Structure 1
């Protein structure tokens, strides 16, 4: 399949899913991004996601893998005007991480309405400790300032970071969580220290099943702006088993989003907490990258 054909195929999948979710979709905001990264799209993993805190849904996010053997994703974003060149530390963070650890794959993230937003560096086989992350020159000081909190709650090492260039925030994705993390006592204590509402019942049980946990930090303060609990992706899903209600259009999107593999959809559900409360982000995989196939096989024991 030619470069142009691959771009059109991916755009078509995004457009169809946006229609299912009831979100307006325009070629002008999406195709230039797909074209810029088009040389790697043929084997890219793609996740499309919506949030349950919007009624009706106003945004469809897309996350696309970018292999490490291609052009640097940040350089591509700057050259094509998706990210503005700046002296802010956010601009130096991805190169600094590349100096610290061998990255297995990158991701780019955007919304069909809002446009390009994030770049992720994924290093699942060589996670970085909080101490190593805090020592990175361009990392927000909030990492070091919260090191004690992370340690008390068994958040020791991260397998991925995400850099939001628009909001100038960083996500740290903690992995290899020990059993102590998933106790009710630990989750409740963590929420309390973060000044977030107390999770009860199904919300608490959902958090206890976390495969990864990520926090959102910025350069402007030591505050942890948000925390997200994410169990491992599942094959198929049951909306009734989720800890918050799912609207009919969201269920229609998750079940009907285009995918290139057979069987039930592979869905990742993440519960995000802010001072206002909790909501879910639901993302069916449209396509699965080679690395994610390996990780999912190890998690579920099933071939994709």
Structure 2
């Protein structure tokens, strides 16, 4: 494919990066997904590697932009046997209905080197979607509309990205914070959000770090009106000072945040997110192998 990158290149980068953190790795888990979606890879597309901070890395994930080469990523994943339609019918309907409401050619897939194919993302880089409109989609979990008042109260109105987990049957709504709020959430505001949604009690360091978020994302499902997880993500940036992170990193994970291979000029770009579930808090860490020109422009604009 002209202008595209090969599955073998991405595979090699995943393998090298996973070995930095001693993550379990098997070609049989990774190669089938990459080879199936190779027609959608582009030199201008993003590729991101991520994991959770901790003593051991049980899963190492990779997200790859697959547009515009593959117009219907769900159908493509289904055709390649990554899940069955019988188990995921609400997911297929939801993705189709989202794209009918807000067409976009920018999609990502999210996979684990252990868990395989997991999620499909529809990104709206130029036209954020409103919660009220998304809640009207027939196959959207009722939890979106049932939490609309909560979202509005905390300024969570503009959805820049929707992620659909094809296996766990959950969705993520990625809210873009307004300029006055982005990077300036008060600790008490974050604490109130966590308490209202029944999340675990935050540590002081994680609470303060969450206040730097430029996006907040919520995980919801079809079986409950509750928000299952809530996350706070600062803007990705180059050369993160690891001492500023709200968790001590094991040496190999620190190396992942500093030495992951990348295919763009300048220092490595990293992303982080403070996350809470009903039972625990955790820190997600990511390194960009490739970055799209549009995303790079947004990152560089913060200088």
| 1:290 positional shift | 3.0
Deviation at 1:178, TM superposition (A): 5.2
Distance 1:49 1:197 in 2: 23
Instruction: Say if 2:4 and 2:42, in contact at 8 Å, map to a contact too.
Output: no
2:10 maps to 10
Shift in Å, 1:135: 0.3
Please give the TM-score of this superposition, normalised by the length of structure 1: 0.92
Question: Superposition pairs for residues 99-110 of structure 1, below 5 Å?
Answer: 99-110=100-111
Correspondence 1:168 to 2:178: no
Structure 1 residues 188 and 178, CA gap change in structure 2 (3 angstroms): farther
Equivalent-residue separation in structure 2 for 1:24 and 1:188 (angstroms)? 35
Query: How many residues in Structure 1 have an aligned counterpart in Structure 2?
Result: 299
CA contact (8 A) 2:41 2:69 kept: no
What is the aligned partner in structure 2 of residue 243 from structure 1? Answer: 246
Gap runs ≥5 in structure 1:
none
Q: How far apart, CA to CA, are the structure 2 residues paired with 1:297 and 1:4?
A: 24
Counterpart for residue 264 of structure 1: 267
> What's the TM-score, normalizing by structure 2?
0.92
**Which structure 1 residue ranges, 4+ long, deviate > 4 Å from structure 2?**
1-5
Cα deviation, residue 76, structure 1: 0.8
Do the aligned residues in 1 keep the contact of 2:237 with 2:299 (CA within 8 Å)?
no
Change (3 A) 1:71 1:152: closer
For residue 41 of structure 1, report the CA deviation from its aligned partner: 2.0
Which blocks of at least 5 consecutive residues in structure 2 are unaligned?
Answer: none
Q: CA RMSD in A?
A: 2.0
Structure 1 distance, partners of 2:293, 2:190, is: 33
User: Higher mean Cα deviation, 85-94 or 268-277?
Assistant: 85-94
Secondary structure in 1 matching 2:288: strand
d(CA) in 2 for partners of 1:20, 1:106: 28
| In 2: Cα distance, 1:5 partner to 1:143 partner | 37
CA gap of 1:5–1:99, structure 2 versus 1, over 3 A, is closer
* 1:194 equivalent among 192, 197, 201: 197
Q: Tell whether 2:124 aligns with 1:123.
A: yes
**2:248 counterpart SS class:** coil
